[in-house]
Amino acid sequence: MPVVTLPKELSENLDMLAVVERWQAEGRKLVLATVIETWGSAPRPIGSHLIIDENGEFEGSVSGGCVEGAVVSEAMDVLDSGEARKIEFGVADETAWRVGLSCGGKISVYLQPLATETDHSLISLLNKTRSKRQPAALLTNLATGSSSVILFGSDAEDPSLSAAFEAGVRSGKSGQVQSDGGEEYFLSMQVPATRIVVIGAVHITQALVPIAQTAGFDMTIVDPRTAFASQERFPDTPLLAEWPEDVMAQLELDPFTAVVAITHDPKIDDLPLQQALRAGCFYVGALGSRKTHAKRKERFHAAGVNEEDFARIKAPIGLDIGGVTPAEIAVAILAEIIVTLRGSKAEQKKAV
């Protein structure tokens, strides 16, 4: 299944779940506020969270500061009643102007109390799943406020909810969904941060790291050649100046990882490429000409890699944009990673 890089907003929401679990452990009475719908110029995306305790202390944001005060006030009523509710703010609403929501934006916020041991267990399960880099979702019935967790690899009983979860894993986006029985739910997605493991601390890597980080990817570099793998060349990036066979196990490659092998040295590149194929990494790319790749194919077949798996390697690496310089090749590599991750525009439209 194609997967998606984790947007900054979603990453912040996952941190919010850690706050929720910590506050639950402290015995606080909590309300979880979630943006479930937006129109126009809304300041925060769908799925943004705000957690409020019984004293009005809060963390997170549903509007960037515009309506938080009003949401906290509503949360106190939810704590008193014990019942979930939906509230809306928009420019046509006098209250919205008072609390500062402007620019034509409207938001719908869902408030649900987190008061039971079941609620605590669900948040704990989501955080444990997150630590294992596995996708999951908090599924909430908007009529009753009851929630459950959908885990990756386990189908929801309702086909519509299962299909929505699969789509959420691909897009990384939370949203409302209707069950086969007509009930309205909100699916709050938890998707692992997508990362790129680069084998080779070369000039291309120096160009690739900043643009990939800007695009939201976590980066790790592996290269046993200390002349290349130095903090001076890569000051702000995790760097392993070791042979791949000594460090690949600790990287725990998974379907949310892209592996880029660009040392042009089989002694360094081959092992991580083979491990990436076995781990089901969503992108596996290797530097080298077609002639070089043909020789690689002979080595991989001798090592037991079958034709279907070998065909997953993108080589020569990168989209064909005519790139020549290290920076241009880096752009081509990142573009190929993104199109593998997201699908082309035509594929995206077909999936809708």
Does residue 348 lie in a domain region? no
- Min mean pLDDT across 5-14, 189-198, 253-262, 338-347 is at 5-14
Tokens read off for 5: 């890089």
15 shares its domain with 125 = yes
Question: Is residue 344 exposed (0-12), middle (13-18) or buried (19+ Cβ within 10 Å)?
Answer: exposed
Does residue 251 lie in a domain region? yes
Question: What was the pLDDT predicted at 105?
Answer: 65
Domain containing 235 equals 195-342
Question: What was the pLDDT predicted at 5?
Answer: 39
pTM of the model: 0.68
Residue 264, CB-side half-sphere exposure with 13 Å CA sphere: 11
Instruction: From 136, 156, 190, give the residue that closes a domain.
Output: 190
Does residue 2 lie in a domain region? no
Tokens read off for 55: 């004293």
155 shares its domain with 183 = yes
Does residue 349 lie in a domain region? no
- Min mean pLDDT across 14-18, 160-164, 281-285, 302-306 is at 14-18
Does residue 309 lie in a domain region? yes
Question: What was the pLDDT predicted at 8?
Answer: 40
Question: What was the pLDDT predicted at 31?
Answer: 96
Whether the pLDDT of residue 15 is over 50: the answer is yes
137 shares its domain with 30 = yes
163 shares its domain with 18 = yes
Extended beta strands in 54-105, E state? 58-60, 85-89
Per residue in 206-236, pLDDT (tens digit) is 999 999 999 989 999 999 999 999 999 999 8
Tokens read off for 103: 């620019």
Tokens read off for 112: 């649900």
12 shares its domain with 131 = yes
308 shares its domain with 178 = no
130 shares its domain with 212 = no
Q: Averaged over 70-76, what is the pLDDT?
A: 93
Task: Give me the number of domains the chain comprises.
Answer: 2
Better-predicted residue by pLDDT, 5 or 187: 187
337 shares its domain with 207 = yes
* CA pair distance 69, 99, nearest whole angstrom: 8
Confidence grade of residue 351 (pLDDT, cut at 50, 70, 90): very low
pLDDT > 70 in the chain, percent: 87
Question: How are strands ordered across the β-sheet holding 136-141?
Answer: 147-151, 136-141, 184-190, 175-178
Question: What was the pLDDT predicted at 228?
Answer: 95
Strands 257-261 and 239-240 turn out to be: unpaired
Instruction: From 174, 190, 206, give the residue that closes a domain.
Output: 190
Whether the pLDDT of residue 273 is over 90: the answer is yes
The four Cα atoms 264, 270, 274, 276 give a dihedral, to 10 degrees, of -40
Question: What was the pLDDT predicted at 172?
Answer: 81
185 shares its domain with 254 = no
Whether the pLDDT of residue 280 is over 60: the answer is yes
* CA pair distance 55, 173, nearest whole angstrom: 31
Phi and psi at residue 176, to the nearest 5°: -80, 150
Q: CATH no. for residue 223?
A: 3.40.50.720
Nearest to 61 by CA among 114, 113, 8, 21: 8
Question: What was the pLDDT predicted at 45?
Answer: 82
- Min mean pLDDT across 40-44, 133-137, 195-199, 292-296 is at 40-44
Confidence grade of residue 191 (pLDDT, cut at 50, 70, 90): confident
203 shares its domain with 136 = no
Question: What was the pLDDT predicted at 345?
Answer: 53
**Helices (H), strands (E): how many in the chain?**
12, 15
Whether the pLDDT of residue 314 is over 90: the answer is yes
Q: Averaged over 166-188, what is the pLDDT?
A: 90
244 shares its domain with 106 = no
Does residue 32 lie in a domain region? yes
Does residue 183 lie in a domain region? yes
227 shares its domain with 330 = yes
The CA distances from residue 276 to 210, 257, 305, 312, in Å, are 23, 8, 12, 10
Q: What is the mean pLDDT of the chain?
A: 87
Instruction: From 164, 190, 216, give the residue that closes a domain.
Output: 190
